[in-house]
Amino acid sequence: MSNKPAVSIKDMLKQDLILSSGHRMCAGCGAPTVIKLMGMALRGPTIVCNSTGCLEVATTIYPYTAWKIPWIHVAFENSAAVASGALEAINAMREKGHYKHEHVDVIAIGGDGGSFDIGFGAISGALERGHDFVYMCYDNGAYQNTGIQRSGATFTGQETTTSWAGKVIPGKLERKKPLAEIVAAHKIPYVATVEPSNFRDFIMKFRKALDAEGPGFIHAFSPCPRGWRSATEETISISRLAVETGLHPLYEVINGEEWIMSGPSKRVAEAGLKPVEEYFKTQGQFKHLFRPEWEGFRKKIQEQVNHDWEVLKKRCGVE
């Protein structure tokens, strides 16, 4: 990690917004808040490479853009590859004396489809090469932009248009892919999980990712009222519940080896996990799990969450 002096959260909260009002994201969407918080962590000139997805299509409807900083739209699968190219272009221009900025940060952004699934190969390659950029996945649990199809980020039991819940199958049967853990296995300098209700934690972690000398990765929880069938005014409370139930615990991983549980999740460890049912009750996509025939399946989900939580606590040295 970098030895640069810490910047106060008070100063970062005063940063100008990088996304203007008037964008066309859905009411209650978590992604604009995620981007707002990301923008508060920026430390200077920045280029964003944004994969196709909800965030891309709804903030840049031709001929308009809501972005106030340099921004590149790229395909579903290659934002990490384009970010790598942008970095190399900046370095080449600087060597030739054509670049005036002392430093430019590059950030790649993708939804869970473009991060967990379609774009993972490009992400893994960029991390292996050691490119000094930050990749952020805004995770809304499905391919929301293309029709609410299940992805590797979809929770067990979650209903989507390709993981129907009925009399035979209770939604998605498979586990959610542990993306942050997989990325941490690349032994990169910095990996962190975040969500918008704990905004100070989010901003400080993103700044740490930028300050890291090498790749940084941020996994941001991002509720989708349209796909989740949740109330638009409950996005922040649902994000908080995801932490309190252990479905999206908050932690950092340094160099793939040092696991640190973040303050909000430490408080959860002290108080004990809330039942996953509290989270499920906030969204229509889980309502089928409360039918009598799926009670056993719902309990198995809780058992798996409890197991994963205990594993995380052990890694982080939390009793």
Domain assignments of the chain as residue spans, ordered by start: 9-316
pLDDT given at position 3: 43
pLDDT given at position 127: 98
* CA separation, residue 102 to residues 3, 89, 107, 133 (Å): 18, 14, 17, 16
* pLDDT-flagged residues of the chain (< 50): 2-5
pLDDT given at position 5: 46
pLDDT given at position 8: 86
Predicted TM-score (pTM) of the model is 0.96
Q: Which fold has domain 9-316?
A: Rossmann fold (3.40.50)
